[in-house]
């Protein structure tokens, strides 16, 4: 992919809770205005292109084809406007899986789901509980840069015994690496219902979107057929069918022996375990329908 998936200007903003709050209804405006573009390359030369303006909270989603330089509009979202149903949830989920497998710096569920979620509101046919679980995991996966300096290094030298008590040298509370707190995540994770059906318009790129999804499905199919991943497919299918995650260490061992060093794959299946992240990876390697394993853990 020739695109830089997440430009540094946007990556810095995603570590700021105010950035995410500005995208919510009645949220505060972000002081750092100016549109930022992120292009998520999916497959077959297709990309989902998101333009975000933190100052207004407006977001424009487009689809760029292999022979075009500018994206075709899919939908427009703003904090005070109804959610546009530009993508179905399963379409976003499929694209996010492919993006994560091809870019180890973007684990799923994570930044892709958190950013593009407003364009894939739930329909009556969707499993709302499963969507909420994935969205919670996406927001929880947002992390601040671990390289930030400590807030307070403490005294320069060991104090006298009288002054060792915290009363004399109180330390500020440790800053969580997680960008959003649990209360905020819970409030934002419920999937919005379909409000604006933009796919009925004559200009909506139905053909291009079908081609993108076909290429995305083919990409995952080819990946599962690679020798290292094919070795764990029977075990992945068994875990997906039973919901029993105790076989994950065996999966990791088999993958490692086969030479797999993909950080997204290994991190999703290893301790400390996040069940939602393990579920999407097992389903992906098993070739199972998305949600097959997830339903056991929601």
Model confidence over 188-212: pLDDT tens digits?
Answer: 998 877 778 899 988 999 999 999 9
At 165, the pLDDT band (50, 70, 90 cuts) reads low
Which one has a higher pLDDT value, 229 or 35?
229
Taking each helix axis from N to C end, the angle separating 182-189 and 128-140, rounded to the nearest 10 degrees, works out to 140
Through-space distance between the first and last CA atoms of the chain, rounded to whole angstroms: 34
CA distances for 244 relative to 240, 253, 263, 282, 292, angstroms = 8, 17, 23, 11, 12
pLDDT for the residue 152: 55
Dihedral (Cα; 170, 176, 181, 182), 10-degree rounding: -100
DSSP state, residue 56: T
Domain boundaries, the chain: 8-143+183-206, 226-297
Measuring CA to CA, which residue among 130, 141, 54 is closest to residue 93?
Answer: 130
pLDDT for the residue 2: 46
95 and 61 in contact (C-beta within 8 Å)?
no
């Amino acid at each position: 992919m020739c695109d830089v998936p997440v430009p540094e200007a946007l990556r810095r903003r995603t570590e700021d809770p105010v950035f995410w709050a500005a995208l919510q209804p009645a949220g505060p405006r972000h002081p750092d205005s100016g549109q930022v573009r992120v292009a998520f390359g999916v497959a077959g030369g297709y990309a989902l292109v998101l333009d975000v303006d933190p100052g207004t909270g407006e977001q424009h989603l487009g689809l760029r084809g292999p022979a075009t330089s500018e994206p075709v509009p899919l939908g427009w979202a703003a904090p005070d406007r109804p959610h546009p149903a530009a993508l179905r949830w399963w379409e976003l989920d499929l694209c996010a899986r492919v993006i994560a497998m091809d870019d180890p710096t973007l684990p799923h569920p994570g930044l892709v789901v958190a950013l593009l979620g407003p364009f894939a509101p739930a329909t009556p046919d969707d499993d709302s509980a499963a969507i909420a679980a994935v969205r919670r995991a996406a927001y929880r996966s947002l992390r601040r840069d671990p390289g930030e300096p400590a807030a307070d290094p403490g005294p320069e030298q060991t104090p006298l015994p009288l002054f060792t008590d915290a009363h004399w040298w109180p330390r500020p509370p440790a800053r969580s690496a997680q960008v959003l707190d649990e209360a905020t995540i819970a409030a934002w994770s419920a999937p919005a219902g379909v409000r604006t059906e933009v796919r009925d318009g004559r200009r909506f790129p139905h053909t291009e979107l079908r081609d993108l999804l076909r290429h995305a499905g083919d990409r995952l199919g080819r990946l599962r057929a690679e020798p290292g991943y094919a070795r764990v497919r029977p075990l992945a299918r068994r875990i997906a069918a039973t919901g029993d995650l105790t076989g994950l260490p065996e999966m990791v061992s088999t993958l490692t022996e086969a030479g797999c060093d993909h950080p997204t794959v290994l991190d999703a299946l290893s301790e400390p375990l996040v069940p939602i992240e393990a579920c999407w990876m097992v389903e992906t390697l098993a070739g199972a329908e998305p949600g097959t394993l997830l339903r056991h853990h929601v």
